[in-house]
Structure 1
Amino acid sequence: MPFLTTIDYFSYGSVVYSINYSHTTESFTIFPDMLPEDTVITEADRGKSESQYINTLSYPGETVDFYASLTYPFATLVINPDGSGDPGDGDTCDLTITNISITNQSVTSAHDGSVTISAATTHTPIQYSIDNLSWQSSNVFTGLNAGHGIAYVKDAMDCTASMGYDIITTPIPFNRLVSTPASGQSRWSALFNPIVFGYQSESMVPGRKFITQITSGYDGATNIITATHAANLTGYCRADISKYLRTLLQPKDELDYTAINYRDANISASYTVQYKEAWNGGEDLTWTNTGDPFYVTYSAMQIGNKTGGNMGPYVTYPDAVQTNPAKFLNDFKYPVFYTDMPWDLSFIYSEKVAGYQLKLGGNGIDINGNIAGALGETMLLNEDGSVLLNEDGSKLLIEKQAPGVLYNKLGVNRLRISQNLPANSIWLDVFLFYTDGSGNNIRVTENRRLLLDNSPCNGLPYEYLKWVGPTGGWLYYLFTKNQLHELNTSNPVLMERYISDYAAADSSHDLISISAQRKITAGKNDIPAHEAEALATILYSPKVYRLVDADTNTWQGVIIDTKSIKMYQTYGNTGDFEISYLLPEVNTQRA
């Protein structure tokens, strides 16, 4: 049976056909042979116009040029006796390309197309090329863009053959989800960054739109938000739903500091997404679901973050070989742990660790940097995941709904360290971990170093503030000494009095009402630059509280005077920090 050389491809209906040529019989065959011989192929199907050049094959003493046709067998040939490939010495050139396998480009400009050239000859080895300039022994070429190309081969006798091929871009399926805010394993996003779902429509028609339906809630809530976004002229729709998700979260603190572990439902949420296409006069009948839930935290990631607006660096994974375990949600390089004050450390309890018994571990570090003693293991969740353990061993629910479903614990959790600290500790290294079936302790968070402050006040006046940091966790700081208390009055309302007897009159005006507001300026001396940088985040925090009474855990919302911050540079990369804030307005009498 003579060799059949594939010289071209074309599509007709939903089938891709190959045009094969036999030099022995100078005939063409179509595979699969499903078309009647009187079939006429359009230029759109053929991909070529009538008489367009396809490729050239070389044989002993002649070359064969192929040209496109729109009628069966969809190719014509011209034989040119030019002596090329003349073997000499009685040998015969029998090199031929038997097939070219093509992997199409996945999307435009992806450069992930490939061709595999199959050739046969009795004079091996065969070399391969796709530009007739550089040659290689491998018959596979990768990293190719869409377009027309020519494959070349040559054997040990310098016999040559060539064949054309076409790489196309794989068509995009109808209504395809092309992107989500997930990054790697993490499906957690920062609320105040773009949270984008990308859809692709098959119809490149102006006015095409996509409807996104967002169902929120950790616990099967039925809170549904619907958003509509328009596709561009290529049918691509960029649906940024971040502004819709902002209705789910608010910077409100409801922790009473009695539990070791607390799920802060106000600053994290889960949601699922489904979408459908719409146009003027109609829309799809069914929704397309995007799969597993996504999650959002009350965070604002900064420019330059490696994962963009995704919270990947802060997401916990049950992985023994994590290169970079999850970070705690704290913007201080070394958070100060005020042991006599309400204080906690925030972290993301992700769906990846649902079902694992998380524990708190750590070590005290003395002034010389040596381990002063172990913190001891504290289990955050019991075996069935339904409750948390308090410091005295009592069980506390961390949410209002029925216990028993570990997924109810997902979100931003706040860790309160309440056990006895190792003696002589200046620092405390803390981390979260679980114990696997073999008894190995597997860390799921970073080892975070805290600076211990056992007696922060020493009986001195102090101001203790907490606020939501950019990464989405609560930050705490205590200002001692350097305080200035002021009282500002404004908006006086006066009424002029009519005086008939100046001798007996007491005034010419009556004060009807006035506004009064206390202002406190607090500061700290000789703090490192990295600490001042974290303190500056209080300026743009949406919620700042001031501790009024530590015994009753009473907090008061305050407003930062954004023009009041002062940082004084001194030697040694340290300086003084000062900031002012307004307390709630004084309740004054009215006339």
Structure 2
Amino acid sequence: MNLLASLVYNYRPTTRVDDNGSRSDNAQVSIAVYDALTGKPTNGNYCVVTYTITNEANFVTTLTAIVPGLEYVIYDGAIAQVNYGGNGQIISTSSKRFDIVSVTPGNPPTPNDEPLPSSLLITDVKVDKVESAQGANDAQITVYATSNYLPIAYKLDGVITSASPVFTNLSGGSHTITAVDASGGIANYTIYIRTNVNLLVSDPSVNLPGGNISRWSAAFNPIIFTYQRRDFDVTALELNTADNNTRVITNTDVSSVTDGDLIYIKTPACEGTYKVLARFDNQTLVIDIPFTFGDNTAADRSGFININRLRPYYKMLTRISFFDKLTGKASTITSTNRPDNKGITRADISNFLQSLLKAADSSDYAAINFRDDNLSASYQIAYAQHWDDGTDNGHTTDFISIEKPYYVLYSARQLGDKYGGNMAAYVPFTNAPNGIEKARWITDFAEPAYSNGYPFDLSFIYSEDLVGRDIYAEIIPLDINRDPLPGATNNYLMNDDGGWLLNSDGSRYLIAKQTLVKVPVPGQLGLNRLLVPGPFASNAYYFNVTLKYDNNETARTITKTQTVRIDDAVDDQSIYLRWIGLTGGNHKTVSQI
């Protein structure tokens, strides 16, 4: 078989060699053997390759290498150097050159010969895909290794063994790859896999049982979006042997960071603000904390670092998209907030959201169900980072949009409430687990009072989870002992037509005493007000009202049953009062003068 040989360069990170910034380029140089006919890699079978090395002084050395396998490493070190003077000018350059001279067949060893030592080497590990989010476990790496004894097997973190050099479904952080060749030779390599971390660490939403999420907030409580600044990755913490302090290895170029700068790092092993003592190389800083992390795992010594020198005047931009009722058009406004020393940014947008609402009653009390867009609104959020990069407008990253909208009500929750300023207790869900308390009606009274002859409605949240359901209100008159009166139950259908808050109303049906009557009944996202029909019979002293929907001919309840007292103490001296309560609903009552 005719053989050809070529040189393969596996480049290493450059090395800083002096304080003037002089650099050394490093590489591993191997001889690879190919079939002259097919051009494909082939086993050298102990062929003899003659090659030359021309050094910095143009002195040529001729050497030979015996290649038993596919590749054979002939050099690992500096192949070029650029030297700078104190003024930053290049004062000299130098390089090594490798050339193939010839390839001749070799003599494979006999069984009694001492075998050649293993040349196993992991030349590189490439991250094909970073972890998309914390806990996603979807990263992928590919290991590149050579040896004069094939095949090569691979281990990940000493646990996973594979004949393939590709590892999938990995978590972020540091991992150790071990390669084992056919002779038993072993080589190790440590790689850091970055995790795409969401800058948004919390929002006004509340997680509820059954996987439900309430995105409804009270406008007169703080509505806060919290972000964690994460400029760059910390891939490792190491001992700085010169002073026993800590080296911080990053995934960025820190050559512009100066001694005395303050940086913030956060890893499981080390967290805080520290002073930069020196730059070890273009990706490594030495900070003023003694190295005491030798017993920590590689994962404990990885995290993130914030460097004001590289991202000066850092701030978070929170863009709010909303429907402007004054102009009748979609609009946006941006909130700008700066982080604290730990990189935490809190954007409280409640003051602006209050401006989307107003204390007004626009109902004419003609519809069975009224969506009150004075007292509720929706908005969407996108966020981005910004810092001064020396340009006129600075650098703004791409905005990241939160897919689902948020909602706000003209309401105020008391301090210490279970859900803070979130309206979770009032948000109905169609799939709430059994035993979980149903959504409350929006009223400040445990038992509101209704007066015959006066318009009266009860407020409730028509949540996004109700879209597409045939929601109806069941009203049951009660006697003085709170027992149901004989006769038909009134069911008022309030189905949603798929519209969104602040869009046009739809039409639905009223089912009254088992007779189908078509009436306009809008049922859309936001605060809705159910108009209670009346008057009630003289023997009705109370009534219960509940929201339900039918699923496979089975009634499903989505709100708590609200009992309303029927007040008959009405005369010519009475006055009719309307106001907006703390929970955000319109309230009505009749009082004596």
User: What TM-score does the superposition give when structure 1 sets the normalisation length?
Assistant: 0.49
More strand by share: 2
User: What TM-score does the superposition give when structure 2 sets the normalisation length?
Assistant: 0.49
